[in-house]
Structure 1
Amino acid sequence: MNLSLENIGKQFSFEGTVKEIRTLGEGLINDTFFVETAGESPNYILQRKNKYIFKNVPAMMENIHKVTTHLKKKIVQRGGNPRRESLTLIPTQKGNLYYQDAEGEYWAACLFIEDAITYEAAHSLELARQGGKGIGLFQSMLADMKETLVDTLPGFHNMRYRFQQWDDTLAKDSAGRKAKVQEEIGWIKQRREEMLAFWQKAETGEIPTRITHNDTKISNILFDENGNILCVIDLDTVLSSICLNDYGDAIRSYANTGLEDDKNPGNVSLNLEIFKSYTSGYLSEALSFLTPVEREHLAFSARYITFEQVLRFLMDYIDGDNYYKVKYPEQNLVRTRAQYKLLTSMEKHYTEMCATVDTIIHSF
């Protein structure tokens, strides 16, 4: 075992003897490790949080603690298993929610949920429906949460803030790449006013603020062996925002026929059947708390979030790839073009998307 990882593991209140700590997955933001213990003791997940992305890790961990505490109470009321249906944070030996090492890195741990399945994509309509149900239920259980969360990601999904960043990035042109992406810059300029008009509804309160997850791709939901949802994971981005962000981001992820970084944009389009199934599952849990204005803007939220991702990938490319991890120099530009193809597919099918949402709403 890596000696430094072993030392980090010793800082947490793990039951039993730790046999091994090994790398798990390839996250874009955090470094994640699987902690295997001996005998019948539970296993754990250990993460090194990205302090450059999450500027206030202590507040982030407190947000997660508040949310999971609320969720566990709701799960118990529903007769569920709070250790399997919600993340369980593991404190340090000193009782803290995180450990900061000598190099200033932040570490956190949670219980590993056994016999759970994750998916990188929604390969069936039923899986998409269950995923929608999972996020709808997550939001529904948090709809009456009164505790305030710290805004640990200022400006997240805030289009006015994103355009401030965008204007600064174009002005600086730090990596000297602006000249080669004039067509892509035009994509952003063309849609600027429409996207700001949507966000203004959030600023005025016409679209209400709720507790949201903000990273609702299917890989952030655990399923059981029967394909039913177990638990929503990766809560680093839980914030007070508009719940349409969660829905829109899920559609961007689930209903993409290609990859987020597909080198062939021809592979990318909106899968309308997946869109319908996810929406049906989501509304089966969320319809009870959504306002008429929220319902009206569900379909547009998918366009909004996808546009934001086009902007963010392109902005990071122009800035020299400082936010998203890249495996090759042009990857952020590839991501930009793939997401733009998805956006144009949504725009093409927007009328049908709106009609589908209305039909599902009236079916309940």
Structure 2
Amino acid sequence: MRNSIYTERPSIAETVLPLFGWQQVPLSIEPFGSGLINSTWKVTAVTGEAFILQRLNMQVFTQPNHIAANIRQIADYLQQHTPGYLFAAPVQALNGTSLVTIEGTGCFRMFPFVKGSVTKDVVASAAEAYEAAVQFGQFTHLLSGFEAAQLHITIPSFHNLSLRYQQFLTALQQGNTERIEEAKEQIEQVKQLASVVQQYEAIRSNPGCKLRVTHHDTKISNVLFDEQGKGLCVIDLDTVMPGYFISDVGDMMRTYLSPVSEEESDYSKIVIRTDIFEAIVHGYFEQMKTDLSADELKLFVYAGKFMIYMQAIRFLTDYINDDVYYGARYPTHNLVRAGNQLVLLQQLLASETVLHEIVNKVCDLKQS
């Protein structure tokens, strides 16, 4: 997925680019970004103009036309209501759509490369976390008048915690018995924290918790920054669907709060950076303060629990099921990932009182 487009499949440059109107040999085509699902390249023309070429992973996104339709609806709405907002809409192909499909090769799309933009793979400071939270909050806020139900569901039940927990229980009945025995400590931890699922169910039945246009994949690499470190816009809209704000805020907490990633096997390095937490709350609330209900304001800390717990369950379930979803570079890879997330969750729970105080402080400051 990360190889040069030429070495991976030499004919792609010749067969795909002309379908988007290219009349010249590109100056360069290089792997771009750190995404693990789609294959992405930066294509530079001899004029210096650059584009992002992407091949969709159709095993994950089985209905690419649904993604294209969602992005088109959002682009049209933003252009009508907030034309000054930077939205990296896809390039229209010669067939009149934003997608081209080549049998045996894949489904492709192109985006203009935002000049002067940079991406980040790791949150290094509270300032970066704040800028990212502002961008994700602004995205949802600007679409507050858009009827979220109009969007296609691109990954069914993507953040359905109740389903993920049921899949975990099913794995315990049908999965690899040796792995179940090896993972008994982590399994017990997940069971002891099942109240997180119960609270999710309460949210789903609470009219004070609204389904909105939600990004669902708020890692830092899905924000474009300028060269001075200011956020420009959000990218990678494949998972934009109706959802609860806890998905976006929770995913930021899951991927920003610890200085190490879910791949870290030295659990002693996993800590909660409270300055990063405050930056997330500050940036997101700054944009969403007129949208969030009183019930939702109480859920900032829960958002972190929700996403970290769900990811721990997904890694653990995959381990028990012999690594059929995430794959593994070594035999206990998904067990290590699950343990990592459970440690992060325990650290969050240990800091819960302090984190609630931060939420109260930030909301009071911004409302006064």
Return the TM-score normalized by structure 2: 0.91
Residue 19 of structure 1, aligned match among 17, 22, 27: 27
1:233 is displaced (CA, Å) by 0.6
8 A Cα contact 1:125 1:274, kept in partner: yes
SS in 1 for 2:163: helix
Q: Which amino acid aligns with 2:20?
A: F
8 A Cα contact 1:5 1:21, kept in partner: no
What residue is the counterpart of 1:34 in the other structure?
42
1 CA distance for matches of 2:23 and 2:286? 39
Matches within 5 A, 1:60-75: 60-75=67-82
2 CA distance for matches of 1:54 and 1:245? 19
Q: Which amino acid aligns with 2:106?
A: E
Shift in CA distance, 172/106, structure 1 to aligned 2, threshold 3 Å? farther
What residue is the counterpart of 1:52 in the other structure?
59
SS in 2 for 1:103: coil
SS in 2 for 1:129: helix
Gaps of 5+ in 2: 1-5
1 CA distance for matches of 2:36 and 2:171? 22
1:331 is displaced (CA, Å) by 2.3
Matches within 5 A, 1:235-314: 235-314=237-316
8 A Cα contact 1:132 1:279, kept in partner: yes
SS in 1 for 2:54: strand
1:145 is displaced (CA, Å) by 0.9
8 A Cα contact 2:39 2:54, kept in partner: yes
Q: CA deviation digits over 1:8-63, x for unaligned, max 9?
A: 222223576523323223422111111121114x3111111111111222112211
1 CA distance for matches of 2:176 and 2:60? 19
What residue is the counterpart of 1:192 in the other structure?
194
Residue 162 of structure 1, aligned match among 161, 164, 175: 164
8 A Cα contact 1:223 1:230, kept in partner: yes
What residue is the counterpart of 1:132 in the other structure?
133
1:222 is displaced (CA, Å) by 0.6
2 CA distance for matches of 1:175 and 1:88? 48
Moved more, 206-215 or 94-103: 94-103
Matches within 5 A, 1:72-111: 72-76=79-83, 80=84, 82=85, 85-103=86-104, 105-111=106-112
Shift in CA distance, 15/86, structure 1 to aligned 2, threshold 3 Å? farther
Q: Does 1:3 align with 2:4?
A: no
What residue is the counterpart of 2:365 in the other structure?
363
Q: Which amino acid aligns with 1:36?
A: T
Moved more, 88-97 or 307-316: 88-97
8 A Cα contact 1:133 1:282, kept in partner: yes
SS in 1 for 2:60: coil
Return the TM-score normalized by structure 1: 0.92
Q: CA deviation digits over 1:133-182, x for unaligned, max 9?
A: 11111111111112610112111111122123223333321595222111
2 CA distance for matches of 1:22 and 1:39? 16
8 A Cα contact 2:71 2:89, kept in partner: no
Q: CA deviation digits over 1:302-322, x for unaligned, max 9?
A: 111110011111112222223
Q: Which amino acid aligns with 1:119?
A: K
Q: Which amino acid aligns with 2:124?
A: H
Shift in CA distance, 358/14, structure 1 to aligned 2, threshold 3 Å? farther
SS in 2 for 1:90: coil
Residue 339 of structure 1, aligned match among 338, 341, 348: 341
1:231 is displaced (CA, Å) by 1.0
2 CA distance for matches of 1:73 and 1:261? 42
Moved more, 283-292 or 126-135: 126-135
8 A Cα contact 2:281 2:300, kept in partner: no
What residue is the counterpart of 1:234 in the other structure?
236
Moved more, 220-229 or 318-327: 318-327
Moved more, 223-232 or 192-201: 192-201
2 CA distance for matches of 1:4 and 1:331? 35
Shift in CA distance, 175/153, structure 1 to aligned 2, threshold 3 Å? farther
Shift in CA distance, 68/274, structure 1 to aligned 2, threshold 3 Å? same
RMSD of the alignment, in Å?
2.0
SS in 2 for 1:338: helix
Moved more, 54-63 or 163-172: 163-172
SS in 1 for 2:28: strand
Q: CA deviation digits over 1:177-234, x for unaligned, max 9?
A: 2221111111211112332332332244341100000011111101111211101011
Instruction: Tell me the number of residue pairs that the alignment of Structure 1 and Structure 2 aligns.
Output: 357
8 A Cα contact 1:49 1:106, kept in partner: yes
2 CA distance for matches of 1:287 and 1:223? 23
Moved more, 114-123 or 302-311: 114-123
Q: Which amino acid aligns with 2:29?
A: I
Gaps of 5+ in 1: none
Q: Which amino acid aligns with 2:57?
A: N
2 CA distance for matches of 1:104 and 1:164? 36
8 A Cα contact 1:13 1:90, kept in partner: no
Q: Which amino acid aligns with 1:350?
A: E
8 A Cα contact 2:196 2:306, kept in partner: no
